[in-house]
Amino acid sequence: MPGDDFEFISHCLKSLETRTDLSWRIFDETDLRMASSVASRRRGYRDQEITEEPFSIHQRLTALSDHWQALAVLPTKPERWDKESDSTFIPPLINGLLSGDHEEASGGDGTYNLSLTPEQSAEADKIYQKWLKTYKREASYFKDHPPKPIGWVAVPKSELSIRNGWATVLHDGAVQQSTTMKLAVGMAYKPLYDTLQLPPVSWRVPGEVDDRTIEDRRREREEAKFEWEQAKARRALQEDYLRQLGA
């Protein structure tokens, strides 16, 4: 959006373009894929350029989104429920800092150290703590109520076509008994889950003590309402700006 801090956005992008500690778990849990994809597509106005947009933001976002998407469909990508999702890291789009980057910005391994002001750091920590609280609550529920697979994906032991495992089992959307029987030998299987349902409102992390006062709860509701109104107002501005670009 016009008026946004493009330099800071560029720094954030450079961190994502070069970092080597981004696991698939973090990538999935923080919705980086969706955010980058929507930002790069601009909701259908991908070919529209923002006048005098500095730092090649759009082009870099598109390249980063395409990079992640290409890696996400490779057979080597672990599923979200696999333990390897925590320890498998996404190769960076850029190996090392670009020429012209300051040496002091380097993390020592070619990554870019994102420097935040005290205000930005406080805001980032606030967002993180809110996300972490939600994550712990949902994780504790699913640990106590593990989801049951709705099916099993056939995976060749050669690992050559993990993403296409069902192609050898399904034909025109129907399971063929003879084909399924043949796959019983020489095949491995991975569980297939439906979309997980959120925990009930009453669920609390076991052992957690809720010591919030009535005033704390009121303040949380007011903050949530204010954040929702801010997000709604920004979406309206974005939609209006996109219409101007597409005019």
pLDDT for the residue numbered 35:
78
Dump pLDDT digits (tens) for 117-126: 999 999 999 9
pLDDT tens for each residue of 198-214: 888 888 888 888 788 99
Amino acid sitting at position 182? K
Note the pLDDT of residue 106. Answer: 53
Measured distance CA(67)–CA(44) in Å, rounded: 20
- List the structure tokens of 227: 């954040």
Reported pTM: 0.69
Alpha carbon distance 32, 24 (integer Å): 10
Instruction: Give the residue with greater pLDDT, 216 vs 170.
Output: 216
Task: Report the chain's mean pLDDT, rounded to a whole number.
Answer: 77
- Once rounded to an integer, what is the mean pLDDT over residues 223-247? 86
Give pLDDT, residue 88. Answer: 92
107 burial via Cβ count (<10 Å: 0-12, 13-18, 19+): middle
Residue 163 has pLDDT above 80, yes or no: no
CB neighbour burial string for 152-178, b if at least 16 within 10 angstroms, e if fewer: ebbbbeeeeebeebeebbeeeeeeeee
